[in-house]
Chain A
């Protein structure tokens, strides 16, 4: 599997709702910070309880998300992102990600993601929207 060119990564990001509001210059700057990793079929991208430090975006292939008992939680395809929750709650990975196919993922480090959110708050808002879809009431400690 071949890695993507910088511009192809930029265009891929543009098609993801998280980044769709950003202009080309900003997107290219973000694409430049993306590391590309190739995983074989059935290979784990990360495991439960692993220390989390990166956000993942699927550029090619399919990924299965499983809980600690290896029950399937979800199937993800090109353009989907995962692994972001642990970056914010600073807890280890609560699920594992396994490739169903030969997969190319783009990864972004936590520190870069935070820098990008501070420059482009729309990304932070998109993430908030994604999280708030899944909760009815935010528990107060």
Chain B
């Protein structure tokens, strides 16, 4: 029975208690709040008269605006939980005092106070209740249970009506107010209990959900105006408020016309009729909230559901403008009391979750406490002016409603992705990319800060400041930079040369003059040599003037002479040019002759300015040299001088990547392969990438993308290859998605089904292995099965993500694995919005936070044989494409001394690869 009810209400096992607590809280505070509001209104009408109601509403509007401002202010210092508790305490004390005052014939002002307080308190508490609930539910939870909480409110609302109707005759007003006090006290204890027993949703966007967080109002406002989604949401909410009041006025006036012909007291009949309508609609609301809303959302999705209210209103008003009949008026009552209070309110509760984290609570307050009075105020003013043309005004509002809902529908997935993106760390961005995005003011401030850093005591900081300043590419800064450098130490000046050489200003006259100055007037030989080398690399030294350094012991000067002979701009005469190059060639050969590390390194440095085939041939040989420094220099040189003509070296370069674990070497050799553009290497590169670090994988992606469309067929083969590891296939899918998304989409259906089948197998047996085979100790098998499951899921998600319009698949996948519940639910939503429903339904079990028992049940149903014996399970693993599955299978068969395990291993050895055989032999020997 429990399971039946859980499934009907969409509650997962383990969360029943907390959901029931929230439902109880919702019902009880709704009873208290609604009793207070109804009694206050009734007493105000009795004591003051309905004629003064508009005045009371006017003051209420301003009070509510004041209260919402107060809430926004306090949110800077305290948690929404504390605000809710405080509001309830104030309400409990106030209603207690009110119940006492009622015995002493209170003055007129008291009734005004009672009416204004009750109305404002009710709205404020609505905002508090939802903000409080928000702390414990992510978007996916909200889709399941928020409608339930909304129904709880309506249930409380209905009960309050019954209580007033049946009790007021017997006990009067004061005890009912005391009942409100009791409901408030109960709600305070319930909320405290929830906060202690229910774990809050993990969201590290701000520290501590119930802790103090300094949210600067200015920052909140800035964030609001930069969020198109939040602006649209708020605007839609305001339109809804205006539409609500306008429609209420319209249906009352329509019903008045209908009932005015009645001989009986039309007001009584009208009120009774409205009461009956509302009662039925409330029951409908509860039923929709309890049973249907969750399923509608699942079927058609939130982005489609948000169009239903505006479409309903649009069709209502388009008919209403032509005919004024009772039936249409009833539809209008349904629109306000049903569509707006169930669908639109529930939609808003979900839509608000896509807004930026910092804005969520303020938006909730704005909607619940600010827009209600504003809507009331605006509508009353507009309706006063329009008088008879209310329906046309309603129709115009409908047009706005539908337009804004469409915009909201468009912005919703984008806003969710923006929230996800806030967690992205942009490792691929260079400092110049950041600088390019700076505003003028930011640039000015940053330059000022950098010049301050140039005066720092820390040399590393000074060098970084200089490097960053040069990235601004602002020539006007050079004079100031040069004057600072001139005052610096020799060691600093030497280090500065490297920074200049790699900067935008490497050939700028001012820099060249500075270096010439170093060369001529500085006394330290190292600085002079480095300056000479700098100028030689830029081709600015005359070969004849520097030739004498060819025999120098100073390697920098020797290199300067060789480079000048080869690349000097003064090498104009053809005969001398050839002669000089010949000398340079001999000198370079000499540098490599004695296997001296420093000489080889300087030789490789010289060659990285030489893009001839000869140079490439020479450098490639040093990729296998037994020294890391040399290998690094060689790989860097290749990244600089290779081109498409060097295809003959592509497999040697590939081997060097395979044999090196150094990131610098791998990245530069990948760049070299990218220059060579040899698509024959694609498969090997992708297979190698399973061992790569994330920056190396990013470089691999760039390299293959550079090779272009020729790689598509290879990539397709890789993705389809069942034997290949998933890490490599993921990269292939990512690249194919960028090269040709249509090709990737074509192959997805045939891959996805078999992968889901595999995932179900690993998932089911991974989780069940210890229950199914309790007599064996099988942690190793369990871990392997679950690891394989995770790897397949990663592959499926990357495959689907790469074939979808999602701009950063890795970000979404990372968020799916995140502990941050909000991020995870946003990632699920993004995926759901970007892949077809058919495929999403197939994978939803794997990614959604569904209880394990439900997932296992589904996985079991998808298996051909969920009752495998251990031997059968190990046999299946032995036939798997994964080497690790095979090893585990062999290992367990040997360990558990399964029948004929030796024969089985011997059989395997005949068919398997080297690494597997090695382990198989070890097992046999043991």
| Residue ranges of A at the interface with B (Cβ–Cβ < 8 Å) | 4-8, 11, 14-15, 20, 24-26, 28-30, 32-33, 37-39, 44, 46-47, 50-54, 107, 109-112, 115-116, 118-119
Chain A residue nearest to B464 (CB atoms) is A24
Contact B434 A6 (CB under 8 A): yes
- List B contacts of A8 (CB < 8 A): 446, 449, 453
**Is B605 an interface residue, CB under 8 A from the partner?**
no
When chains A and B are docked, how far (Å) is the Cα of A26 from the Cα of B693?
15
Q: Which of B493-512 contact A (CB under 8 A)?
A: none
Closest Cβ of chain B to A106, distance in Å, is: 13
Closest Cβ of chain B to A9, distance in Å, is: 10
Task: From known contacts A33-B425, A51-B209, infer whether A111 and B819 are also in contact, taking CB-CB under 8 Å.
Answer: yes
Task: From known contacts A11-B461, A14-B460, A37-B214, infer whether A115 and B425 are also in contact, taking CB-CB under 8 Å.
Answer: yes
Task: From known contacts A51-B209, A51-B210, A111-B819, infer whether A5 and B204 are also in contact, taking CB-CB under 8 Å.
Answer: no
Closest A-B pairs by Cβ, 8 of them = A53-B204, A109-B204, A50-B208, A110-B204, A54-B207, A7-B446, A50-B211, A51-B208
14 A-B residue pairs with CB within 8 Å = A5-B446, A7-B446, A7-B450, A7-B468, A24-B464, A28-B434, A29-B426, A32-B425, A33-B425, A52-B208, A109-B204, A109-B205, A111-B823, A115-B814
When chains A and B are docked, how far (Å) is the Cα of A38 from the Cα of B215?
10
- List B contacts of A54 (CB < 8 A): 204, 207
Q: Mark B795-836, 1 if CB is under 8 A from A, else 0.
A: 000000000000000000010001110010000000000000
Contact B427 A26 (CB under 8 A): yes
When chains A and B are docked, how far (Å) is the Cα of A5 from the Cα of B214?
20
**Is B465 an interface residue, CB under 8 A from the partner?**
yes
Contact B208 A119 (CB under 8 A): no
Q: How many residues of B contact A (CB 8 A)?
A: 42
Q: Which of A7, A50, A51, A54 has the most CB of B within 10 A?
A: A7
Q: A11-B461, A32-B434, A119-B427 are in contact. List 9 more A-B contacts (CB 8 A).
A: A7-B450, A8-B446, A14-B464, A29-B427, A44-B212, A53-B204, A112-B425, A115-B425, A119-B425
Chain B residue nearest to A39 (CB atoms) is B214
When chains A and B are docked, how far (Å) is the Cα of A94 from the Cα of B648?
62
Q: Which of A28, A38, A112, A118 touches B431 (beta carbons < 8 Å)? A: A28
Contact B211 A46 (CB under 8 A): yes
When chains A and B are docked, how far (Å) is the Cα of A15 from the Cα of B434?
20
When chains A and B are docked, how far (Å) is the Cα of A116 from the Cα of B210?
27
When chains A and B are docked, how far (Å) is the Cα of A119 from the Cα of B205?
20
Contact A46 B429 (CB under 8 A): no
Q: Mark B443-479, 1 if CB is under 8 A from A, else 0.
A: 0011001100100001011001101100000000000
Contact B694 A119 (CB under 8 A): yes
Chain A residue nearest to B467 (CB atoms) is A24
- List B contacts of A119 (CB < 8 A): 425, 427, 694-695
Q: Which of B202, B425, B429, B449 has the most CB of A within 10 A?
A: B425
When chains A and B are docked, how far (Å) is the Cα of A11 from the Cα of B456?
11
When chains A and B are docked, how far (Å) is the Cα of A58 from the Cα of B445?
21
Chain B residue nearest to A40 (CB atoms) is B214
When chains A and B are docked, how far (Å) is the Cα of A11 from the Cα of B458?
11
When chains A and B are docked, how far (Å) is the Cα of A111 from the Cα of B425?
10
Closest Cβ of chain B to A84, distance in Å, is: 13
Contact A29 B429 (CB under 8 A): yes
Contact A47 B211 (CB under 8 A): yes
Q: Which of A5, A30, A54, A118 has the most CB of B within 10 A?
A: A5
When chains A and B are docked, how far (Å) is the Cα of A11 from the Cα of B748?
46
- List B contacts of A46 (CB < 8 A): 207-208, 211
- List A contacts of B204 (CB < 8 A): 53-54, 109-112
Q: Which of A28, A107, A115 touches B207 (beta carbons < 8 Å)? A: A107
Contact A111 B820 (CB under 8 A): yes
Closest Cβ of chain B to A21, distance in Å, is: 11
When chains A and B are docked, how far (Å) is the Cα of A37 from the Cα of B213?
9
Closest Cβ of chain A to B447, distance in Å, is: 9
- List A contacts of B345 (CB < 8 A): none
Contact B430 A25 (CB under 8 A): yes
When chains A and B are docked, how far (Å) is the Cα of A7 from the Cα of B470?
13
Contact A25 B429 (CB under 8 A): yes
- List A contacts of B442 (CB < 8 A): 5-6
Chain A residue nearest to B442 (CB atoms) is A5
Contact A30 B210 (CB under 8 A): no
**Is B849 an interface residue, CB under 8 A from the partner?**
no
Contact A15 B425 (CB under 8 A): no
Task: From known contacts A109-B423, A111-B818, infer whether A15 and B458 are also in contact, taking CB-CB under 8 Å.
Answer: yes
**Is B610 an interface residue, CB under 8 A from the partner?**
no
When chains A and B are docked, how far (Å) is the Cα of A13 from the Cα of B670?
30
Chain A residue nearest to B211 (CB atoms) is A50
**Is B159 an interface residue, CB under 8 A from the partner?**
no
Q: Which of A7, A15, A39 touches B449 (beta carbons < 8 Å)? A: A7
- List A contacts of B823 (CB < 8 A): 111
Closest Cβ of chain B to A102, distance in Å, is: 12
**Is B200 an interface residue, CB under 8 A from the partner?**
yes
Contact A5 B429 (CB under 8 A): no
**Is B683 an interface residue, CB under 8 A from the partner?**
no
Contact B208 A118 (CB under 8 A): no
**Is B203 an interface residue, CB under 8 A from the partner?**
yes
Q: Which of A4, A24, A53, A54 has the most CB of B within 10 A?
A: A53
When chains A and B are docked, how far (Å) is the Cα of A23 from the Cα of B695?
13
When chains A and B are docked, how far (Å) is the Cα of A33 from the Cα of B207?
14
Closest Cβ of chain A to B695, distance in Å, is: 7
- List B contacts of A11 (CB < 8 A): 449, 453, 461, 464-465
- List A contacts of B450 (CB < 8 A): 7
- List B contacts of A7 (CB < 8 A): 446, 449-450, 468
- List A contacts of B453 (CB < 8 A): 8, 11
When chains A and B are docked, how far (Å) is the Cα of A91 from the Cα of B207?
14
Closest Cβ of chain B to A79, distance in Å, is: 11
- List B contacts of A53 (CB < 8 A): 202-204, 206-208
Contact B461 A14 (CB under 8 A): yes
Q: Mark B627-648, 1 if CB is under 8 A from A, else 0.
A: 0000000000000000000000
- List A contacts of B208 (CB < 8 A): 46, 50-53
Contact A52 B207 (CB under 8 A): yes
- List B contacts of A39 (CB < 8 A): 214
Closest Cβ of chain A to B202, distance in Å, is: 7
Q: Which of B177-227 contact A (CB under 8 A)?
A: 200, 202-212, 214
Chain A residue nearest to B426 (CB atoms) is A29
Closest Cβ of chain B to A130, distance in Å, is: 21
Chain B residue nearest to A109 (CB atoms) is B204
Closest Cβ of chain A to B722, distance in Å, is: 29
Q: Which of A20, A44, A111 touches B423 (beta carbons < 8 Å)? A: A111
Closest Cβ of chain B to A55, distance in Å, is: 10
Contact A15 B429 (CB under 8 A): no
When chains A and B are docked, how far (Å) is the Cα of A111 from the Cα of B209?
16
- List B contacts of A37 (CB < 8 A): 214
Contact A116 B425 (CB under 8 A): yes
Contact B427 A24 (CB under 8 A): no
When chains A and B are docked, how far (Å) is the Cα of A111 from the Cα of B205?
9
Q: Which of B846-872 contact A (CB under 8 A)?
A: none
- List A contacts of B694 (CB < 8 A): 118-119
When chains A and B are docked, how far (Å) is the Cα of A37 from the Cα of B431?
24
- List B contacts of A29 (CB < 8 A): 425-427, 429
Q: Which of A37, A111, A116 has the most CB of B within 10 A?
A: A111
When chains A and B are docked, how far (Å) is the Cα of A28 from the Cα of B437?
13
Chain B residue nearest to A2 (CB atoms) is B445
- List B contacts of A20 (CB < 8 A): 460
When chains A and B are docked, how far (Å) is the Cα of A33 from the Cα of B423?
8
Chain A residue nearest to B215 (CB atoms) is A37
Chain A residue nearest to B209 (CB atoms) is A51
- List A contacts of B431 (CB < 8 A): 24-25, 28
Closest Cβ of chain A to B335, distance in Å, is: 42
Chain A residue nearest to B203 (CB atoms) is A53
Closest Cβ of chain B to A137, distance in Å, is: 26
Chain B residue nearest to A37 (CB atoms) is B214
Closest Cβ of chain A to B135, distance in Å, is: 11
When chains A and B are docked, how far (Å) is the Cα of A47 from the Cα of B210?
11
When chains A and B are docked, how far (Å) is the Cα of A39 from the Cα of B203?
22
